[in-house]
Amino acid sequence: MTDDRERSGRAVPSTRLSRIGAFGRLAGGLAGGMMAEGARRMASGERPSMRDLALTPRNVGRVADQLAHLRGAAMKLGQMISMDAGDMLPAELSAIMARLRERAQHMPPAQLQAVLAREWGSDWRRRFRHFEAHPMAAASIGQVHRATLPDGRVLAIKVQYPGVAASIDADVDNVLTLLRVSGLVPRELDVAPLLAEAKRQLHEEADYVREGEQLRRFGQLLADDRRYVVPGFEPEFSTRGVLAMEYVEGRPVEALVDAPQEVRDTAMRALIALVLAELFDFGWMQTDPNFANYRWQDGAAGDNGRLVLLDFGAARPVEPSTRDAYAALLRTGLAGDRDGAREAAVASGFLGAAAVAGHRALIDRMIDIVIAELGRPGAFDFGDRAFVGVLREQAMEMAADRSTWHIPPIETLFVQRKISGTAMLAARLGARVDVRAMLEARSLLTAPVA
């Protein structure tokens, strides 16, 4: 049964006080849930850790529900956790946090009207032949509506939720507090640089003027490549809180899970080629791998189909040092050089020196697994995930030693976010892509990037 709130929308808490209250209720609910679970387990003779008490399905579901209601930076961080950690999250946390990727609630009509009147003026409806009040999609920062202009052109209008931009810093701090209280983040780990960068990135994503510039940038970069479609930017209707672009037909890329193998492979080959171009050619990458950012246009006769790219709020430059670090990792790893791969991982910041010193044998076993999987000739079968379970177990064993926890360089984190999310989508589609051949075509396995 569909909740009435889902049909009519649920207002975004837009004031500082209302958001603080929501976090307070969430913290209170978590505390109560942890106390009840702790009492139950101790009565059974167990001595559960704070982390075990925090990660009950009920508690994590409570977090997911509240972050979906808050939207904005709070929900975005939840989505980032589920995408970035990927297969390395505990199964219960991964399953529940993943719900944040598709459960955003839209604004009710009155709140939408208020936002658009502020951005476009009270008579904004006169500028359109038709404006669909119910959104086509709702995400963490805004929702998207289809609108038709008097001349017949159809636009996609992204409308930002009220209060989102102003609440970013407080939301990030409040989410960290929840993670600290629950014991999921050790107090000795210095996450200040990561939080500062997360806030900066989220402020950029909430600036639709900047995103319009990125939309134009990628439109120019990919203008001559028929594998991709980038919607045209419509500056006349765009403001800091509203982004207007050409409406482009396409079906959700996740819908390809039932498509023929050739179609799935073609779509993922195009996306992997785009990631490589962003990293090694453009020096500029859209770092948000959310599946909703891609759609697929089926090809006609003689056409293999095209990938539609929709969201560029997280586009950012790729530093040459980050590009070179990935090139070194690829060369050593795909050449089967375990020692070289380990050294490159430390030099690039992927691995901390303390982790290598304390868990050298474990790290080498993990590298060997990755080398064996990626070194196989021919197409890599992303749908064959048997090795992931082994990696997860070994990663959890190393993660139990919190003294070796390490935060990679910020630039590396954002690039890896895109790479990990792309691999997750390829796994979802069961795609088979000869990634090694794509890298060899770029001479990445034999020589440094120029």
Is 135 within 8 Å of 109 (Cβ atoms)? no
Q: What is the rounded distance in angstroms from the CA atom of residue 10 to the CA atom of residue 110?
A: 11
Element (H, E) at 211: helix 208-221
Q: What is the rounded distance in angstroms from the CA atom of residue 347 to the CA atom of residue 384?
A: 30
Q: What is the rounded distance in angstroms from the CA atom of residue 105 to the CA atom of residue 70?
A: 9
* Token pair listed for 222: 């990919």
Q: What is the rounded distance in angstroms from the CA atom of residue 67 to the CA atom of residue 292?
A: 18
In 3D space, the residue among 219, 212, 218 whose CA is nearest the CA of residue 235 turns out to be: 212
Is 159 within 8 Å of 145 (Cβ atoms)? yes
Is 60 within 8 Å of 93 (Cβ atoms)? yes
- Grouping H, G, I as helix, E, B as strand and the rest as coil, residue 154 is strand
In whole angstroms, how large is the CA radius of gyration of the chain?
A: 23
Q: What is the rounded distance in angstroms from the CA atom of residue 132 to the CA atom of residue 148?
A: 9
- Grouping H, G, I as helix, E, B as strand and the rest as coil, residue 44 is coil
* Token pair listed for 38: 């702790």
In 3D space, the residue among 397, 332, 331, 389 whose CA is nearest the CA of residue 363 turns out to be: 397
Which segments of 121-191 does DSSP mark as H helices, in order?
A: 164-181
271-306 burial by CB neighbour count: b if 16+ within 10 A, else e?
bbbbbbbbbbebebbbbbbbbbbbbbeeeeeeebbb
Whether residue 3 lies in the annotated active site: no
Q: What is the rounded distance in angstroms from the CA atom of residue 28 to the CA atom of residue 66?
A: 12
Give a three-class secondary structure readout of 346-406: HHHCCCCHHHHHHHHHHHHHHHHHHHHHHCCCCCEECCCCHHHHHHHHHHHHHHCCHHHCC
User: Which residue of the set 3, 65, 171, 288 is catalytic?
Assistant: 288
What are the strands, taking DSSP E only, across 8-139? 130-131, 137-138
Active site residues: 288
